[in-house]
Structure 1
Amino acid sequence: MSTRKAAVIDMGTNTFHLLLVELNGVDFKTLYKEKIPVKLGQGGISQNNLAQDAQKRAFHTLKHFKNLIDGEQIDQVFAFATSAVRNANNGAEFVQQVKEEIGIEIHVISGEEEAQLIYEGINLSGSLNGHVNLMMDIGGGSVEFIIGTSQEVFWKRSFEIGGQRLLDAFHYHDPILPEEVEKLEAHCQEKLSPLLEAIHRYKPTGLVGASGTFDTLTDIYFESMLQCKLTGQHVFELPTTEFERIFQLLKTKNREERLNIPGMIPMRVDMIVVASCLIEFILRYVPVEAIVCSHYSLKEGAVSRLLSGKVAV
């Protein structure tokens, strides 16, 4: 069977991901992957702007990614930008500059497209079953929610309440104050009313979290159990009682103390508190015994599209 190589670049608001894969028609092999905390939304996302420092970090990272792609002689490149770029007043200018100076064409995807690709990535991981699940992916700029099964999507939507936005708006003290948590929850209650209606309508019985924060929460859980994640495993379970225990730790520690929690990584240490507040809020409406955590998300959704012969967006 003939194989071909492809590259996927996921330009998130907080983290840029590079995934180099070899496709063999029905499956794929990861050749290389890397994630870099570019923090594209830092210093400007709340003003719908890409700050100059953030753009510099993005250019530096994209040049690095391009060198790796060229080194593998890959010409099929799919680059996606999400919340930070799609909402920035200078987003189009940034995209044009990247094309001219680096030679990477960026697809700025809508929130709905992002949710669909996340669903396809989660489905590729084997996280779904015949039951109705609520899926969520907490990005730096937006949060995507999908309700569906492994066969179909019933409802999907993107909300601009990602980790960087919540951090800017509510997390002023460290450790976070109880009143800041209350304000954040009230904000979620207001902004997520369409989701709460959809939960009432479709009655999901499972909760699946994709990548990012959920990867780190499971890392912390596994470290506390003195266990290692198996190489090649893409689906993990986080018991709700363990999430609650970790959440209490995160809420009551400052940044330096959080960094010392086994399993914590520096790129997640700031946003994980507000992201966990959001997960706690969702658990009130979808009470489960364990959260299913998918290591696959948006970039693997793009790979799923490539495997099926469709264009990436």
Structure 2
Amino acid sequence: FLLQELDKQATQGYLSQENHYETKAVIDIGTNSCRLYIAEWSPKEHKIIKHLYQEVQIVQLGEKVNETKFLQESAIKRTLDCLIHYQNIIKQYACSTIYCFATSATRDAHNREYFIQKVLKNIGIQIHCIPGETEAEYNFRGVSLAIDG
């Protein structure tokens, strides 16, 4: 959903080479998948100017969260492995900023702070767990952008 919104912004114009831009990464940690998106960003124009990289991995972080209300260790490990892989790619692109968001599975888990701190300690990436209303808004925007083309 976040990636679709960023995609739309990237098609809305071209930034000339004389302007400054930053390379930024967005990681979206969902219930089933973990997405990485890297793009060049124009701070001056507040938009994406060039798509650089995109990847999706199935991590199933939300495995059994509905039943147990806890993230499973095996799911946390899969997600950590994915994030380590993504961190290596982010380093290759020399990203100035990393935005990392987690949604429903993390938000609903009683051990979400354990997971967030484990990622921060082991990888150095700060996860922001977004509220359900924000997630719904981003999903709506993503679908709207896909329909509007």
The answer to whether residue 127 in structure 2 is matched with residue 127 in structure 1 is no
C-alpha displacement of 1:97: 1.1
| Alpha-carbon contact 2:22-2:96 (below 8 Å) kept | no
Deviation at 1:70, TM superposition (A): 1.1
Contact 2:101 2:128 in 1 (8 A): yes
Distance 1:6 1:57 in 2: 24
Corresponding residue of 2:58? 37
Counterpart residue number, 1:106: 127
5 Å-filtered alignment, 1:153-192, equals: none
Quick one: which of 95, 98, 116 aligns to 1:77? 98
Task: State the one-letter code of the partner of 2:58.
Answer: P
Superposition pairs for residues 235-274 of structure 1, below 5 Å?
235=149
RMSD of equivalent CA atoms? 1.6
Aligned-partner Cα distance in 1 for 2:142–2:34: 17
Instruction: Render the CA deviation track for 1:98-153: whole Å, top value 9, x for unaligned.
Output: 11110000000010011122233345x3624xxxxxxxxxxxxxxxxxxxxxxxxx
Q: Give secondary structure in 2 for the equivalent of 1:46.
A: helix
Residues of 1 paired with 2:23 and 2:142: CA distance?
18
Match of 2:35 in 1: 17
User: What are structure 1's unaligned runs of at least 5 residues?
Assistant: 129-234, 236-313
**2:109 pairs with 1:88:** yes
User: Given the alignment of the two structures, is residue 61 of structure 1 paired with residue 86 of structure 2, yes or no?
Assistant: no
Q: Name the CA distance, whole Å, in 1 between partners of 2:48 and 2:124.
A: 28
CA-CA distance at 1:61 after TM superposition:
0.4
Q: Report the TM-score when normalising by structure 1.
A: 0.39
Residue of structure 1 in register with 2:23 after alignment: 5
The answer to whether the Cα contact below 8 Å between 2:34 and 2:58 also exists between their aligned partners in 1 is: yes
Whose RCO is larger (CA < 8 A, sep 6+)?
2
1:23 CA drift (Å): 1.7
Q: Which has more strand, going by share of residues?
A: 2
Where structure 2 has 5 or more consecutive residues not aligned to the other structure, the ranges are 1-18
What's the TM-score once normalised by structure 2's chain length? 0.79
**Partner Cα separation in structure 2 for residue 51 and residue 38 of structure 1:** 12
Change (3 A) 1:119 1:51: same
How many residues in Structure 1 have an aligned counterpart in Structure 2?
128
Distance in 2 separating the partners of 1:126 and 1:80: 21
Distance 1:75 1:101 in 2: 20
Tell me the secondary structure at the aligned position of residue 50 of structure 1: coil
In structure 2, how many angstroms separate the alpha carbons of the residues matched to 1:92 and 1:55?
12
Distance 1:101 1:117 in 2: 29
SS at match of 1:31: strand
Report the Cα distance in structure 1 between the residues aligned to 2:131 and 2:90, rounded to whole angstroms. Answer: 25
Counterparts of 1:71 and 1:27, CA distance in 2: 19
SS of residue matched to 1:127: helix
Residues 56-101 of structure 1: CA deviation (Å, up to 9, x unaligned) = 1011001111111111111311101011000101111110111111
